[in-house]
Amino acid sequence: MMNPLTKEEAKLLKEYLDKKVEDFTMEEAERFLEIARKVVLEYGDRPEAYKLHIYATFVRASTWLRRRKAEKKEKR
C-alpha cells in the first residue's frame, strides 16, 4: 500500500502532532487541516483518520479564535 502523504507532509504531520495548540500559526493550522483531510480521503475506513481530522479542526479553530482575540485587543 502506498502512502498518500509526501515525505514532507509526513514530517510536518509528526511536527504538528508534537506541537502545543497555542504555538500554531494560522498557516500551520491550515496546513495541518489540509494534511488531515488528505488522510481521511485515503484512510476513511479507520477511526484514527477521523480523530486526526477532528484534532486538526480543533487546532485551526483555536488558532483562529486566538488571532481574532488579539486583533480585537489591538483595536482597543
27 occurs within a structural domain: yes
> Cα–Cα distance between 38 and 27 in angstroms, integer?
17
In which domain, by residue range, is 58 found? 20-75
Residues 6+ apart with CB under 8 A from 60: 29, 30, 32, 33
Is there a domain that residue 29 lies in?
yes
Alpha-carbon gap, residue 8 to 19, rounded angstroms? 16
Tell me whether residue 3 is in a domain. no
Domain count, the chain: 1
Residue 63 maps to a domain: yes
pTM score of the predicted model: 0.89
Asked whether residue 10 is assigned to any structural domain, the reply reads no
Q: What is the pLDDT of residues 23-74, one digit of tens each?
A: 999 999 999 999 999 999 999 999 999 999 999 999 999 999 999 999 988 8
Q: Indicate whether 4 belongs to any domain.
A: no
